[in-house]
Structure 1
Amino acid sequence: MRIPLKKINRALKKRFGGRVQAVVERGVLVLRGSAEDWDGVVAAGRLAASPKSRWYTVNEVTWPGAAQRQPKPVPQTDESLAGRAPDVLLIGAGVTGAAIARELMRRNVDLLWVEKEHDVALHASSRNDGMVHPGVDLHKGTAKYHYNRLGNRMYGGVCAALGVPFRRTGQYLCFKGRAMRPLLYFTLPYWKWLGLSGVRVLGDKALHAAEPGVDEALHCGLLFPQAGIVCPYGLTIAMAENAVQNGAHLSLDTCVTGMDVENGRILAVHTNRGTVRPRIVINAAGVFCEDIAQMAQDHFFSIHPRKGTNAILDKKAKRMVRTIYSGMGTTATKTVHSKGGGIVSTVDGNVLVGPDAVETPEKEDFSTSVQSVRATFEKQRHAAPALRESDIITYF
């Protein structure tokens, strides 16, 4: 697809006064220059690309705070992996890496699997709400839509095979005003076209019978039965254990530090535990996947991390939610730059509330704040007025 370079540069000049420019290199849109702060870097990316863009974008815009960021120290070095030449080197032991490892071990592959942390699932794969999404907000023709649908259908079978708790709870989107109910029926053909079968419209009585904790001001809703809940780190651990039991060599505290590339082929991968020479390299490094891609001379995208705060409530708060729900038309859902979020019944019998969405330049920024917790509760209280911060037992 043709990249509208002149249009993008006009927008960048208007915002940054010529300090940021866009060029096209090898079919990829590349942003270079300097911004006043991290928010400016993110703003440049948004001016150059959107979820509907059909081109790849690399954001190399700098900002003053970038020089102060210190990389995480490389774990202790040794030569325990030196000389290994596996069929596959898999980088990253989150839920995606664990799923790949499990599938590869069905095929008698010599797999070396490396993870820079001291255990699996220590980043996003343990720091989420455990919701299995039905794909309500996705668009046909996108890769996310395609894989979300396939993955959603697979959860029941995968979790049963691994002995991981999973519940197909369904998700409720709730609306104010009884007049909304007849309008919701007009949306049913759209959900069917989107591939979401069994979507139902619920009136006042049916909605509050299903979820007694929903605000009385919410008079109707849509039920998406494909939604579910799972323990995210439990699933990752189970898949990782299954892969290792079937022969995968998992090397923890192992950091990829560089690669030797020639004519588009990776010849060697350097780690803090020695140099390996795999036939194939699979990049499942999460938010660090762009760094790995850059080592492989395949840097065609950038990641701008966002973090969101979730709160876990005491089990006595279970009265507020049986499934997953949120109020439509509130601050929980109408903000464009938001994680949306909702109120979730976890597989452990607790209630989870969140998340919000905060831009961060740090890919390992797991900090929380009182402001984020309170903002999360405020936006979800539109759907569940009984929410109390005093019920929180932890947040992350």
Structure 2
Amino acid sequence: MFNVQDIRNDFPILSRKVNGKPLVYFDNAATSQTPQQVIDAIVDYYSNYNANIHRGVHTLSQEATDLYEQARKKIQAHFNAKFSHEIVLTSGTTHSINLVANGFSSILKKGDEIIVSALEHHSNIVPWQMLCEQTGAVLKVIPMNEDGALIMDDYDNLLSKNTKLVFVNHISNALGTINPIEYIIEKAHQVGAAVLIDGAQACPHIKPDVQALDVDFYVASAHKMCGPTGVGMLYGKEEWLNKLPPYQGGGEMIAEVTFEKTTYADLPHKFEAGTPNIAGGIVFGAAIDYMNSIGFDVIATYENDLLDYATEKLLQIEGLKIYGTSKSKTSVISFNLENIHPYDIGTILDKLGIAVRTGHHCAQPIMDFYCIPGTVRASFSFYNTKEEIDALVEGVKKAKMMLS
């Protein structure tokens, strides 16, 4: 049985106070909090195994290597990749996307077309713009509607024999919209295009099956899945990873080096130059274990209940507007109060111990679409409660009274 109080006991930070008030943490879309079990795994690595990996014959190096590769296999199993070497460990989602974009710079040519969506995080816009500048490819955009959903008819019309790549987030970080990625992937493949899905916002709520999706690339970050910052993963189909050149040169990613020629290591090491975030990779596996111990179906059910409750309560506040009202969304609410800047609301909420995100959420084109400077974003996780949502509602009411 899911007991939120038992879950909350796993997270030391949830017991602290901010500005003399109990912390209410609603910035989970930026970074989730870390349970004691994951913190213990960090301490265990540095206390008992700290050594460089893949290079040493001594015991510590071999043990650290085993732990790191076991974590890769955990990630493979979680995302249901066919092979563990299809999992490349990176510094996070942004690194993963740039790795793929860099690889395609040697494949695309002038006149090729790539497609992104209007709902993207800047990390899934800027690398492709840079790629177009380098190659002469053309960037096209799937538009969105007032509900914050993508217009699929327009997507169909954008696809052509010139389409080589499609990049879409699984879930919008700014609005919580769940995109129809199964349809997007299927239609792209019909014209021979590859697909990358940005799963940074989806993976805390959904357990993606990359083989069932038939996706070519899928990327995620540990710090949104109760794990540490500075580590993430790129899943790529074996045939695609073999086609792409290395992203960086250095140690670990080589098979043989002479001054005349260098040959590269096999997957996944071809893309893992230098000493990796060893502790981060190992602990990423521990964070996945923790979330799976709760169960993603249980997490989704509980968080959807929080979303429904918060939506109902916030909409009772006169002058409050929610942005992102798609029927298919996860536990993110972006809102504004009429004639009040979101930054001012966020500042007052912080004085009450309530952590929300304000601004454009690295999704400025979305804000431009709505003709607003930004929103207040409250994003919920499985360790949040309805009582905390009540505190948020009262805090917004107080902010409205003070700022109107």
Q: TM-score, normalised by structure 1?
A: 0.29
- Return the structure number with greater strand share: 1
Q: TM-score, normalised by structure 2?
A: 0.29
- Return the structure number with greater helix share: 2
